[in-house]
Amino acid sequence: MRAKLLMIYLVLIIVVPLWCRSLNETAAKDARDMVSGVPRTDAIQLVDKIYVSGRLDGNEHEVKSFGALLIKSKKSQKALQNYYGKNRKIYVKKQESPVIKQITRKKVKFKKYEQGDDLYIVYCWGDPEYSFARKLDIRAWAPDKSALKKLISVH
């Protein structure tokens, strides 16, 4: 009986975090697909698209999902926000480098960045269908690299 309980416990400790990671990756893909799903006009050219999940911003022990497009357009940021912003979860910002500034804990870049004044990031933060997955994902448990550096430098 004890062996069965131990086996169930070990399976749960291994399977649940991996399953939650999968849910968060799916949420990131869904966020990218939601942004990509808005029909583009002739005035909007797709340059690159990306999705990522992990500890992306200031939340201590929570995994976030992020999906984005890099677009080229002669339209203003306000006009693009009005177009994409019909869905209130989608945001448009000027993109001045390949690095995605909305993600503060990791350095995430667009691979196909082109220099220019007419580049915009169209993005949204994804939510897994089951919100518990944000905290049970194994990546939420990993110690922060900056905290580890502080610990190492003290000793």
For each successive 10 residues of the chain (155 residues), what is the average pLDDT?
84 82 85 85 88 78 86 90 82 90 86 85 81 70 62 60
What is the pLDDT at residue 69?
92
What is the pLDDT at residue 146?
60
Structural domain includes residue 128? yes
Structural domain includes residue 72? yes
Structural domain includes residue 95? yes
What is the pLDDT at residue 147?
58
Structural domain includes residue 150? no
What is the pLDDT at residue 154?
57
d(CA 55, CA 33): 20
What is the pLDDT at residue 119?
92
Find the angle CA(45)-CA(80)-CA(70) to the nearest 5 degrees: 40
Q: Provide the residue type at 53 as one letter.
A: S
Domain that holds residue 33: 2-142
Domain count across the chain: 1
What is the pLDDT at residue 121?
92
Structural domain includes residue 22? yes
Q: What is the dihedral of CA 46, 102, 128, 19, to 10 degrees?
A: 100
d(CA 69, CA 101): 13
Structural domain includes residue 108? yes
What is the pLDDT at residue 145?
62
What is the pLDDT at residue 107?
86
Structural domain includes residue 59? yes
Bridge partners of residue 69, in order along the sequence: 49, 122
d(CA 35, CA 114): 20
Structural domain includes residue 66? yes
What is the pLDDT at residue 29?
87
